[in-house]
């Protein structure tokens, strides 16, 4: 039987079959040995004996993200709160970058617009060429209509810091509210903070995935020299600098630095580029 992994809890994987039946499965030990861990979103071949499912094979993946841990998605909606928690643009840029590397379309969703209009953040990502949606999942009627047309029929994962409102937004989109909660002042996380990734099927044939918030991770899967290829606002200018192979950091007559100084490329995006570039430079070959 073929199915899709829609949820994973405590070593069990929940596989949805073509008949929309959910079968609880174990992954055979071999996956651990081969370092082929099943991910939510994987299409898998399963066998069922005495009501117990077993994942036999993971079918070819279209793509895989480790942060958040999902496979076969079309769109990554990166949710940023205009306020509470404070926007983390570096994390946002890393999430965007991971999507770009995996060939997944990023969309920036700025939530909690009732608390702040976040003009500066809208401008940063607009300028970079990304689709930006500003809404308030909790306090704006019909906010889901701003995002639904962009993800219709697609498989979309929602990622971002804990407490930005991913689950609230998904509740509005799917009409099912769960796992959202007031932010506890002490730990600054939603009280009902999402603990696992879950794939929810929509009426239009698309899927949406809630994911737990996380705050930091490293990008390591590319070489520093290739980083510019994944920043769309830089990509169009490759080769225009005075030096061939310009890293856009210390070289003179650098078109990218000029664009940053002229305000055509956002400073915060450029700062993220520089920080990630330096980090990638320091990654040893064997780590790559």
Ligand X SMILES: Nc1nc2c(ncn2[C@@H]2O[C@H](COP(=O)(O)OP(=O)(O)OP(=O)(O)O)[C@@H](O)[C@H]2O)c(=O)[nH]1
Would you tell me which residues interact with ligand X (CB under 6 A)? 111-112, 114-115, 136-139, 162-168, 180-183, 189-190, 193-194, 212-213
Partners of 208 in the β-ladder: 156, 200
- Alpha helices, DSSP H, located in 159-203: 166-174
Query: Taking contact as CB under 5 A, which single stretch among the options 3-11, 103-111, 167-175, 266-274 is the one that binds Mg ion?
Result: 167-175
The entry of ligand X, Mg ion, Zn ion, none near residue 168 (CB within 5 to 8 angstroms by kind) is: ligand X
Interaction of residue 265 with Zn ion, rule CB under 5 A: no
Return the SS3 of 172. helix
Query: Taking contact as CB under 5 A, which single stretch among the options 5-13, 34-42, 165-173, 274-282 is the one that binds Mg ion?
Result: 165-173
The entry of Zn ion, Mg ion, ligand X, none near residue 246 (CB within 5 to 8 angstroms by kind) is: Zn ion
Interaction of residue 227 with Zn ion, rule CB under 5 A: no
Partners of 43 in the β-ladder: 4
**Cα angle at 207 between 204 and 212, to 5 degrees?**
150
Helices 267-282, 89-102: axis angle to 10 degrees equals 70
Catalogue the E-assigned strands of the chain.
2-9, 12-17, 22-27, 43-49, 52-58, 64-65, 70-71, 75-81, 105-111, 131-134, 155-159, 198-201, 207-210
Pick between residue 143 and residue 266 the one whose CB is nearest to ligand X: 143
Pick between residue 72 and residue 167 the one whose CB is nearest to Mg ion: 167
Given candidates 5, 248, 273, 280, which one binds Zn ion under the rule CB under 5 A? Answer: 248
Q: Pattern of binders to Mg ion over 184-213, x per CB under 5 A?
A: ----------x-------------------
Q: For residue 239, report the phi and psi dihedrals to the nearest 5 degrees.
A: 95, -5
Pick between residue 217 and residue 243 the one whose CB is nearest to Zn ion: 243
């Amino acid at each position: 039987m073929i199915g899709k992994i829609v949820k994973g809890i405590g070593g069990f994987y929940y596989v949805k079959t073509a008949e929309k039946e959910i079968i609880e499965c174990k992954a055979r030990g071999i996956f651990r040995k081969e370092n082929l861990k099943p991910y939510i979103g994987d299409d898998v071949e399963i066998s069922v004996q005495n009501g117990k499912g077993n994942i036999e094979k993971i079918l070819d993946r279209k793509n895989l993200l480790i942060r958040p841990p999902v496979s076969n998605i079309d769109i990554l909606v990166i949710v940023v709160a205009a306020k509470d928690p404070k926007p983390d643009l570096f994390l946002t840029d890393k999430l965007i970058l991971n999507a770009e590397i995996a060939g997944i379309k990023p969309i920036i969703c700025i939530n909690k617009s009732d608390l702040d209009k976040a003009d500066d953040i809208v401008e940063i990502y607009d300028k970079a060429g990304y689709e930006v949606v500003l809404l308030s999942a909790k306090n704006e009627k019909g906010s889901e209509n701003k995002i639904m047309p962009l993800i219709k029929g697609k498989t979309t994962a929602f990622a971002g810091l804990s407490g930005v409102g991913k689950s609230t937004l998904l509740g509005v989109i799917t009409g099912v509210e769960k796992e959202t909660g007031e932010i506890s002042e002490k730990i600054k996380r939603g009280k009902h903070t999402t603990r696992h990734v879950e794939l929810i099927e929509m009426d239009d044939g698309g899927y949406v995935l809630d994911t737990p918030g996380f705050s930091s991770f490293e990008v390591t899967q590319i070489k520093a020299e290739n980083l510019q290829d994944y920043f769309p606002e830089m990509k169009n200018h490759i080769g225009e600098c005075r030096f061939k192979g310009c890293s856009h950091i210390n070289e003179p007559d650098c078109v990218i630095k000029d664009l940053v100084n002229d305000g055509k490329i956002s400073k915060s995006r450029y700062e993220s580029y520089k920080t990630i570039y330096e980090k990638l430079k320091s990654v040893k070959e064997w780590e790559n």
